Amino acid sequence: MEINRIESNIVCKIRGRMKMARGKYSDMASQYAYMMRMLSIKAQKRLVFGVCVSILGGVSTFLAEVILIKLIINGLYHQTKLSTLFGWILLIFAISVFTGALMYFFSLYRQKVNAEISTMVAEKLMKKVRDINLKKYENSEFYDEYNRVLEKGDKVFIQGLNALNSLISSVVIVVGIMTYLFRLSALVIVVCILASAATYYLNQKIIKNNYKMFTETSTDNRRLQYIDRIYYLKDYSKEMRLFNLSPMLRDKYNRVFEQRINKQKEYYRTNSSLSVVSSFLPYLVTYLFITLYTIYKITRRLLQIGDFVSINNASFQLINRFNLMINRVNELYEVSLYIGNFKNFMERDFTLPQGEALVEPQLDVCLEFHEVSFAYEEGHEVLHKISFKLEQGEKVAVVGLNGAGKTTFIKLLMRLYDPEAGRITYQGKDIREYQIDSYFSLFGTVFQDFKEYSFSVKENLYFLKTGETEDSSAADILEKVGLKHKMKEHRDFLHTEVGNEFQNGVNFSGGELQKLAIARSIAKDGKIMIFDEASSALDPLSEYEVNQLLLNSFQDKSIVMISHRLSTVVHADRIYFFEKGRIIEEGSHQQLMEQQGRYCRLFQLQASQYGK
């Protein structure tokens, strides 16, 4: 009974391992099928071309190191004519030269196709990232997944193609070498296979450990990259110096680095031991066995002297090819894990759902919130049952203390997020029924943290439409916002780069950057203007200039402005006062002052501060 139970357990384990192996290689095949579908036809041609070149290279090496040496040694032993020996040498030399030339042309072709693959993968990632629902960025697990995909990027596909190329060609070459050796000694083949099988098993463990280590340290890697960014990004440079952040950052970097090293240590120890064994064991066994075996065969006159050299060389080529195949299979497995990450990331739906409707630009603005609620985390509402309406040409202000939900409200209004409850309509239709790009086209934005780009001034205004827009139109907008005179000081005028990131460009002050942001919104010509603390970082004179510019530039637009400084919103048609995610007061400035509520008290407090 005990023996039957042991046998049953062994059978179950074998079946379990076979099932796991089938599942693993099935997954591998699925990932590479995805890769070949995704890559262009040129990449598939690159694989075929590469396999042919590699096979020819293997054949050339086999002829030179196995066949030619055997022919020369046996020929000299049997006193073959020198002209015949020279003919063999010349033929194999010609094959080697032809193969070398073909490999050179393939390397050039491979570089070209690799560049195309890198571009294509980068474009796919950019497109995917562009459409990611911004709420995902609130999730650290998403960041880790995203970082793992970006860290590998196009490299996994190029590495996968190279590994496939090498594996397929090695299989063909191995079949050829085994066919040759089988005539001389089948036992040599068996020994090579057993030694290589041991190497494969050990390398499988190394690859699994590497992937586990990569997964476990991904958050640490992201933290280290974040600290690196703080060091070299201009945005942090002033505070880095004024607050002497460097010691703290170095300490944090060292602690995270040490934490990562501690996680990696055990993997490194295990992998080092496995690598040493997998590297030396096959060669030690085969070297001792094959050398002694062939010497024995020659002493028994079962082999010629040339066969001794050719068998040894062919055996070592076979071992090398077996090990190369094993490494490539392991590499293909490892790469398939990263391709799986990429595939899962690309196939997961991170986007906001959208409909097919297009915004009709000729219709008047009518945007409305119907008891909208929103939470970044479940159970922690940021907005609660917000009702709001914006009509054509209306100037609306949203005010309140920090953390009241004002910026979240704007994000929902522009459909950067979707509400958890309630709905938002435009022209009576739920905004989720519109195509997102069509809905986005409604909005021009001027934010306090507006971003400038190290491109030309004209590109900062028009982006994709730069080539479609005359310089004169851009110049008119710059004149309207008061920046044309500054730009005329620069030789390249509209084509001067913003900032000094890549060359000596134009540097704008804080107020001038806000004017550039306003110019960008004028260039976009949206129907609804969003001003989120557009002037709060400016001095009073610059703030007055920017606010006057906003009012004068967008008189015919619907406007939603967020501001802490209530003096900037007194001329709004309607003011919404937010507190703890709710609208607690609503009306014109005069109406709210007459109510003697929260708005009135805050306005009077700010007025008294300005009066000091």
**pLDDT tens profile 542-595:** 666 666 767 777 778 898 988 877 877 888 899 999 999 999 999 999 999 999
pLDDT of residue 541: 66
Mean pLDDT (whole number) for 372-377 = 88
Mean pLDDT (whole number) for 202-210 = 81
Of 81-90, 407-416, 535-544, highest mean pLDDT: 407-416
What do you get for the CA distance between the two ends of the chain, in Å?
97
Higher-confidence position of 609 and 454 = 454
The confidence band for 423, taking pLDDT boundaries of 50, 70 and 90, is very high
Least confident of 5-14, 438-447, 600-609: 5-14
Higher-confidence position of 113 and 377 = 113
Least confident of 176-190, 425-439, 567-581: 176-190
Structure tokens at 360: 């009709």
Quick one: angle between helices 82-130 and 68-77, nearest 10? Answer: 170
Q: Which single residue is written with the structure tokens 């195509």?
A: 435
Higher-confidence position of 457 and 372 = 372
Least confident of 299-308, 378-387, 539-548: 539-548
pLDDT of residue 367: 93
Higher-confidence position of 74 and 440 = 440
- Compute the CA torsion angle 241, 247, 252, 256 (nearest 10 deg): 120
pLDDT of residue 386: 92
pLDDT of residue 7: 46
Cα distances (Å, whole numbers) of residue 509 to 456, 493, 547, 549, 578: 17, 17, 16, 16, 32
Higher-confidence position of 593 and 285 = 593
Length of the chain equals 612
pLDDT at 530 over 70: yes
- Quick check: 332 and 28 in contact, CB under 8 A? yes
pLDDT of residue 285: 66
pLDDT of residue 9: 55
The confidence band for 535, taking pLDDT boundaries of 50, 70 and 90, is low
pLDDT at 436 over 70: yes
pLDDT at 11 over 50: no
Mean pLDDT (whole number) for 605-612 = 68
Mean pLDDT (whole number) for 171-193 = 80
Higher-confidence position of 323 and 49 = 49
pLDDT of residue 388: 93
Structure tokens at 484: 């044309």
Q: Which single residue is written with the structure tokens 């699925």?
A: 30
Q: What is the mean pLDDT of the chain?
A: 80
> In the beta sheet, which residues pair with residue 377?
380
Higher-confidence position of 133 and 465 = 133
Higher-confidence position of 414 and 27 = 414
Name the nearest CA neighbour of 438 among 369, 382, 354.
354
pLDDT at 1 over 70: no
The confidence band for 368, taking pLDDT boundaries of 50, 70 and 90, is very high
pLDDT of residue 475: 86
* List of residues 6+ apart from 413 with CB closer than 8 A: 367, 369, 424, 530, 560
- Quick check: 305 and 312 in contact, CB under 8 A? no
> Does the model's pTM come out above 0.75?
no
The proportion of the chain whose per-residue pLDDT surpasses 70, expressed as a percent, equals 86
The confidence band for 612, taking pLDDT boundaries of 50, 70 and 90, is very low
Higher-confidence position of 489 and 586 = 586
- Quick check: 306 and 71 in contact, CB under 8 A? yes
pLDDT of residue 193: 79
Least confident of 189-203, 293-307, 370-384, 425-439: 293-307
The proportion of the chain whose per-residue pLDDT surpasses 90, expressed as a percent, equals 11
pLDDT at 17 over 60: no
The confidence band for 430, taking pLDDT boundaries of 50, 70 and 90, is very high
The confidence band for 424, taking pLDDT boundaries of 50, 70 and 90, is very high
pLDDT at 381 over 90: no
Cα distances (Å, whole numbers) of residue 137 to 129, 143, 455, 528: 11, 7, 26, 26
The confidence band for 391, taking pLDDT boundaries of 50, 70 and 90, is very high
pLDDT of residue 287: 67
Higher-confidence position of 137 and 182 = 182
Helix (H) or strand (E) holding 320: helix 305-347
User: Which DSSP state fits 466?
Assistant: G
Mean pLDDT (whole number) for 191-200 = 78
Name the nearest CA neighbour of 148 among 218, 213, 208, 226.
218
